[in-house]
Structure 1
């Protein structure tokens, strides 16, 4: 990766930090704290949130019938997701130890905090739990696959990809055989950090 590209990547990272700061400022009117991993709201905020929660009868009346009919299919995906989660755990425990890769922390990708929101009813909280788990699992799997790819095949694709894992920027250019032969060992060492 040349210096100009690395400089642009650093600028993008700086802009991401600025964006996060601006989002935090915009959301500063929402009063909550995180203590020991638990989200806490001020009492008045919780009371206001609960006042804005739809009760289950109203919620079920407003849900389109097709949404209710697809729910069993959607929730059935939890079964293969749990199996996949167990396989990812086994994969890391075995392959990452053999190749001396740094472990990917599952907790960096799995965030379950929507149940603290007083304006969500029980079904909405269950839906949020499902989405948090499933989307977190996919991001976690992508990070595991990305670390593995960094070691075995650190080559960018010819076609532009929609979304990239965090290791993709380190990959070698597509079709650059000289860089591949020169830098493969260096990238393999980097993947073992």
Structure 2
């Protein structure tokens, strides 16, 4: 029997599918398409993009000096992030097969495509690559953590959680001991992830 929460979750999935359709329409408006995972812009669009590129020297001259001084702080974070990323990859490689949890495909989360944008200069492309790596690595780590939580502790919190992962709504309600035990029994045969 479908609950109100199940119906709302299904509506959310439909809205997400509608968003994907609208994004495809927007790509057409911006006059680019994907060919075998390669981004292809129309020639005229490329020409316009190149005209809009800010030269590196102009970019640096116009930059706020405090932003330039803070850049090493921002970029220094790459070291601990890479270390955590490596640890999470090792965790997944060792533990997920033991508990029959489907592995997370890291390449689905690390997307590097902004360097194809002709209106970005070299510094902007480096900044975009950094952001792509950091946000992709965190998204990968979050998915690994979410799948781990599905196996070990599929219980909702008593208090509201901001930005829960997509599996959270399927967890047992806080205080529902029977539902929790049923979820744990389901996990004995392995975690089931839609699309994994």
Q: Same fold (TM over 0.5)?
A: yes
Secondary structure of 1:39 counterpart:
strand
In structure 2, what is the Cα distance between the partners aligned to 1:56 and 1:129? 16
Structure 1 position 181 matched with structure 2 position 178:
no
In structure 1, what is the Cα distance between the partners aligned to 2:56 and 2:66? 18
Please give the residue correspondences for 1:132-143 in structure 2 after superposition, counting only pairs within 5 Å: 132-143=132-143
Secondary structure of 1:101 counterpart:
coil
Secondary structure of 2:28 counterpart:
coil
User: What is the count of residue pairs matched by the alignment?
Assistant: 193
In structure 2, what is the Cα distance between the partners aligned to 1:129 and 1:119? 15
1:110 is matched with which residue? Answer: 110
1:68 is matched with which residue? Answer: 68
Structure 1's 190 and 11: CA in aligned 2 closer, same or farther, altered over 3 A?
A: farther
Structure 1 position 99 matched with structure 2 position 102:
no
In structure 2, what is the Cα distance between the partners aligned to 1:154 and 1:189? 15
> For structure 2, which runs of at least 5 residues remain unmatched after alignment?
none
In structure 1, what is the Cα distance between the partners aligned to 2:22 and 2:35? 23
> For structure 1, which runs of at least 5 residues remain unmatched after alignment?
none
TM-score of the pair, normalised by structure 2: 0.91
In structure 2, what is the Cα distance between the partners aligned to 1:140 and 1:188? 24
Structure 1's 52 and 86: CA in aligned 2 closer, same or farther, altered over 3 A?
A: same
Q: Does the CA-based 8 Å contact 2:172-2:180 persist in structure 1?
A: yes
Moved over 6 A (4+): none
Q: Does the CA-based 8 Å contact 1:99-1:192 persist in structure 2?
A: no
Q: Does the CA-based 8 Å contact 1:150-1:188 persist in structure 2?
A: no
Q: CA RMSD in A?
A: 1.7
Q: How far is 1:190 from its partner? A: 5.5
Secondary structure of 1:34 counterpart:
strand
Structure 1's 155 and 2: CA in aligned 2 closer, same or farther, altered over 3 A?
A: farther
Secondary structure of 1:191 counterpart:
coil
